[in-house]
Structure 1
Amino acid sequence: MKNGIAFISGEAFFPNGGHKNTLRLNYTNINEEKIREGIKILSNVIKANMLPNN
């Protein structure tokens, strides 16, 4: 949330469990420009949290 987007693990959306290492993106009620902006932000957050610090 601190970067202006919300993230929920995709696993929570499978009632029978399983499907670890997934995510769910909801973009049904937003314009294309905001979708692109959100994907850039999410990409940067993922990169910052997955890559080792140099």
Structure 2
Amino acid sequence: MSKCATVIQKYCSNEKKQNILSCLRHNINQDAMPNVCRRILYHRLMVLNS
């Protein structure tokens, strides 16, 4: 998720790799979340929940 690299670094840098998606989900409404990252995250979450 290179489009989310800055957000991962800002909010999830202390998380284990397997917890990054969960961390991003918890921070999805942060103002610093770029729209492109938010769209990717919504898509990944929809795929996981289908």
- TM-score, normalization by structure 2: 0.45
Return the structure number with greater relative CO, CA threshold 8 A, min gap 6: 2
Structure holding more helix per residue: 2
Q: Which has the larger radius of gyration?
A: 1
